[in-house]
Amino acid sequence: MQRLRLKADGRIVELRDGQEFPLAPVTPASVPMETAPPPAVRDLRRRARLTQLEFAARLGVPVETIRNWEQGKRMPRGPARALLAVIAHAPDMVFSALAKA
């Protein structure tokens, strides 16, 4: 039986002997792309004059998540992407609302 794993970036790999082997090369057409680019997390955080730890605490996510986004290891998706887009336009309102929650 073949063991497969779907990776966060859309790749599918086969698991054999504790190692991952790509099933097919990734082409731009095979990776789903969202329409708008995500806001630059580092720029948003710096404009808010917050450290990674402070920014993570305000968003309610682990600091590792912020680091991964800023380093390009992961991309914000879904609700996080939407929240970052709103922060880009009205950071004070968002942080105020999140502080009350």
Condensed to tens digits (0 to 9), the pLDDT of residues 48-91 reads 999 999 999 999 999 999 999 999 899 998 889 889 988 988 88
Domains and CATH numbers, the chain: 1-33 (no CATH), 41-100 (1.10.260.40)
How far are the Cα atoms of 73, 74, 79, 100 from residue 4, in angstroms, in the given order?
22, 21, 27, 43
Condensed to tens digits (0 to 9), the pLDDT of residues 21-44 reads 887 654 555 445 455 555 699 999
The model's pTM is 0.62
- Residue with token string 């992407």: 81
